[in-house]
Structure 1
Amino acid sequence: MRLQYPTNVRVIQLPCSGRVDILHLLRSFEDGVDGVYVAGCMEGDCHFLTGNLKARRKVEYVKKVLESLGIEPERIEMYNMSSAQGPRFAEVANEFTQRIKELGPSPVRSAKAA
């Protein structure tokens, strides 16, 4: 089965979602991306025990940082899914891309262009 999701979605694989770094998430926005989502294991099913919980806390922290900067916190999200849920991954990619389209271009990107 070939998954269909938007071509503008860039997948960056890590051994565990807990390895996501707050600075990398923030730098993504600084570099001009319009949105970021982290896909991690199902809660309670992490091979590294608490990696997905750490990732969720990091994403929630970045939401607060974005909000304090006047940027919509909806531009970043955490989703839990198993590696066997390929169709769910494609569904999330499509839904998140639609959400970002509705929000419009990132104000950071707009400010960099000016």
Structure 2
Amino acid sequence: MTEAVVFEPKILGFLCNWCSYAGADLAGVSRFQYPPTIRVIRVMCSGRVDPVFVLRAFSRGVDGVMVLGCHPGDCHYATGNYYAENRVKVLKQLLDLAGVNADRLVLDWVSAAEGQRFAGLVSDFTERIRALGPLAAAGNPQGGGSPPEGLQERLAAARRVGESEKVRWLVGRKREMFDTG
């Protein structure tokens, strides 16, 4: 008899140094239970997460990406989380165009005192990705071997859009141009 292989998602988390990373640390030292599916990259601010990093992660076989930052109004750099919000909105549109379900990317807020919240977010996101199934892309042996037709090419095209100087400028200036009047 063969055992059924249980899909364990590969999740990459970009965590803000000042709040979310401290919240993750609190979850660890408090021994809050959450799945070991997330690999953390500490960034100084969620607003510094380059969209190209997220797209590259998906093209290399990550099943989901979490961007976690300070609560709005509590950013150590004042407005970094607002920039993160704008970037994630654009990223979700690029993922849709590339044929990747935008639910594989999440942006949320965790303070340094919210270890339990961090554990809950990771648990919930892991279940969401399990329900979506593996993203069949390069480097993901659980993804069923070969990626869907053209997925790598579409992700590469999305990466090129994300690297475009004009697009980067527009996304970075959206808040000043439209949100502040």
Q: State the TM-score, normalized to the length of structure 1.
A: 0.93
What CA RMSD, in Å, does the superposition of the two structures yield over aligned residues? 1.3
Deviation at residue 17 of structure 1 after TM alignment: 0.8
Aligned match of 2:129: 100
User: Deviation per CA, 1:42-87, whole angstroms, max 9, x where unpaired?
Assistant: 0111010111111111111111001011111000010012111011
Aligned match of 1:61: 90
Aligned residues with identical type, % of pairs: 44
Aligned match of 2:151: none
CA separation in 2, counterparts of 1:64 and 1:108?
A: 19
CA contact (8 A) 1:64 1:73 kept: yes
CA separation in 2, counterparts of 1:93 and 1:34?
A: 13
Aligned match of 1:73: 102
Aligned match of 1:13: 42
Aligned match of 1:91: 120
Q: Which residue of 22, 27, 31 corresponds with 2:56? A: 27
- What SS is found at the alignment partner of 1:39? strand
Deviation at residue 3 of structure 1 after TM alignment: 2.5
After TM superposition, the runs of 4+ consecutive aligned structure 1 residues lying more than 6 A away are none
The structure whose RCO (Cα within 8 Å, separation 6+) is larger is 1
CA separation in 2, counterparts of 1:17 and 1:59?
A: 10
Structure 2: state its 5+ residue gaps.
1-29, 147-181
Higher radius of gyration, 1 or 2:
2
Structure 1: state its 5+ residue gaps.
none
